[in-house]
Amino acid sequence: MSVSVVIPVRNGEAFIGEAINSVLAQGPLAGEVIVVDDGSTDGTAAVVQAITDPRVTLLTRPCGRKGVSAVRNFGLSKASGEWTLFLDADDRLREGAFATLLAGAYGADEVAIYGDYERINEQGEKIGRRNLIRKRSKPSGHILENLVGGNFIVNGGIMLVKTAVFRMVGGFDETLRYGEDWHGWCLLAAKGLFRYVEGAHVLDYRVHTSSVMMSKTLEFADCIPVIDAIFNDPSILAGLPSERVKALRQKAEGHMNAYTIAQDIRAHRYGTAFMALSDTLIHRPRQAKRALLFSAAALAGL
């Protein structure tokens, strides 16, 4: 039993070494680290090449920049482990993450095992108060109906996916610019069981000035393509009760609208968040309660 870790990177010199070493520290369960460099112009390659552990492989995407989904899929195509984890180049795994996720017996029908994360800053120091909610229950088993209502996985670095099954469903949709991971997890959930390891802090999710969350403003409109992709995919729809599809789509829309507002608050874009919240109250009042709850949680550091 081994885990392949795919790390897409572009100009990640500052953190890529720490990310790789956090994987190697998992011990024998870390079968390989596949770093896919998507056209870096800094010292990323030199940092990776300085790590002499034979489990580390540096690859260069052969067909140019096509987005992070294409990079991850390229890495997935090279993975040889039973399980694969997609780690962002600026994040780091916690000690014993793989052992925690793989503890105990798992069934042949399990296609993903996931835990939870903490946020850290650029210096690697914990920020926020997610520890207050880590013991909350998340779903296990047939979770597709839960998952289409909103992406509670958040970061793929908290989850092991069954390599062969994720390849079979096609990996990540390379046409999506946002939420491609959510769509991929839904495809996977339509094929088998997920297991949540309660209270398991397996990832430090780094929030810093050049991260996507901090540097890019996302609007609700940016989420419509992935919502359409999920609710128009026959393999996903086949796993949902037909009478629930309309309500689940409304839930998904409300979740993603609230999530984008909360991310603006976490990035201190308070004016943008206020305008988006006002627009929700005026034009989509059914989504207002969730948006207010997510906003309050973001302000509280959860």
- pLDDT tens digit string along 159-186? 999 999 999 999 999 999 999 999 999 9
Which residue has better confidence, 107 or 36?
A: 36
Task: Give the count of domains, the chain.
Answer: 2
Long-range contacts of 121-128 (CB under 8 A, 24+ apart): 121/206, 121/207, 121/208, 122/206, 122/208, 122/209, 124/18, 124/92, 124/204, 124/206, 126/204, 127/207, 127/301, 128/301, 128/302
pLDDT surpassing 60 at residue 193: yes
Residue 279, in any domain of the structure = yes
Domain ranges, residue 261: 218-299
pLDDT the model gives residue 284: 87
pLDDT the model gives residue 174: 94
pLDDT the model gives residue 286: 86
Residue 193, in any domain of the structure = yes
Instruction: Clarify whether residues 14 and 123 are in a common domain.
Output: yes
Instruction: Clarify whether residues 130 and 256 are in a common domain.
Output: no
Contact assessment for residue 50 and residue 128, using Cβ atoms and an 8 Å cutoff: no
Instruction: Clarify whether residues 16 and 115 are in a common domain.
Output: yes
User: Residue with structure tokens 């359409």?
Assistant: 228
Task: Record the tokens describing residue 56, joined without a space.
Answer: 């580390």
pLDDT surpassing 80 at residue 131: no
Residue 159, in any domain of the structure = yes
- φ, ψ at 101 (rounded to 5°): -70, -35
Instruction: Clarify whether residues 160 and 257 are in a common domain.
Output: no
Residue 24, in any domain of the structure = yes
Average pLDDT over residues 249-260: 93
Residue at a domain's end among 150, 184, 208: 208
Task: Record the tokens describing residue 283, joined without a space.
Answer: 């034009």
% of the chain beyond a pLDDT of 70:
93
Instruction: Clarify whether residues 11 and 142 are in a common domain.
Output: yes
Residue at a domain's end among 208, 226, 260: 208
pLDDT surpassing 90 at residue 130: no
Average pLDDT over residues 51-55: 97
Instruction: Clarify whether residues 118 and 264 are in a common domain.
Output: no
pLDDT the model gives residue 287: 86
pLDDT the model gives residue 178: 92
**Positions of E strands within the chain:** 3-9, 30-37, 56-60, 83-86, 92-93, 110-120, 126-127, 159-162, 193-206
> Which H or E run contains 184?
helix 180-189
Residue 40, in any domain of the structure = yes
Instruction: Clarify whether residues 171 and 266 are in a common domain.
Output: no
User: Residue with structure tokens 């994040």?
Assistant: 91
3-state secondary structure of 194: strand
Instruction: Clarify whether residues 198 and 174 are in a common domain.
Output: yes
Instruction: Clarify whether residues 157 and 289 are in a common domain.
Output: no
Give the mean pLDDT of the chain: 91
Average pLDDT over residues 215-243: 92
User: Helix, strand, coil % (nearest 5) of the chain?
Assistant: 45, 20, 35
Q: What is the largest CA-CA distance in the chain?
A: 57
Residue 17, in any domain of the structure = yes
Instruction: Specify whether the backbone of 104 is left (phi greater than 0), alpha (psi in -120 to 50) or beta.
Output: left
Instruction: Clarify whether residues 169 and 235 are in a common domain.
Output: no
Average pLDDT over residues 21-29: 97
Which residue has better confidence, 15 or 267?
A: 15
Q: How far is residue 86's CA from residue 34's CA, in Å, rounded to a whole number?
A: 10
Residue at a domain's end among 179, 208, 237: 208
pTM of the model as a whole: 0.90
Instruction: Clarify whether residues 70 and 174 are in a common domain.
Output: yes
Average pLDDT over residues 184-213: 89
Residue 288, in any domain of the structure = yes
Most confident of 82-86, 104-108, 196-200, 273-277: 82-86
- The CATH number of the domain holding residue 63 is 3.90.550.10
Residue 213, in any domain of the structure = no
Instruction: Clarify whether residues 194 and 249 are in a common domain.
Output: no
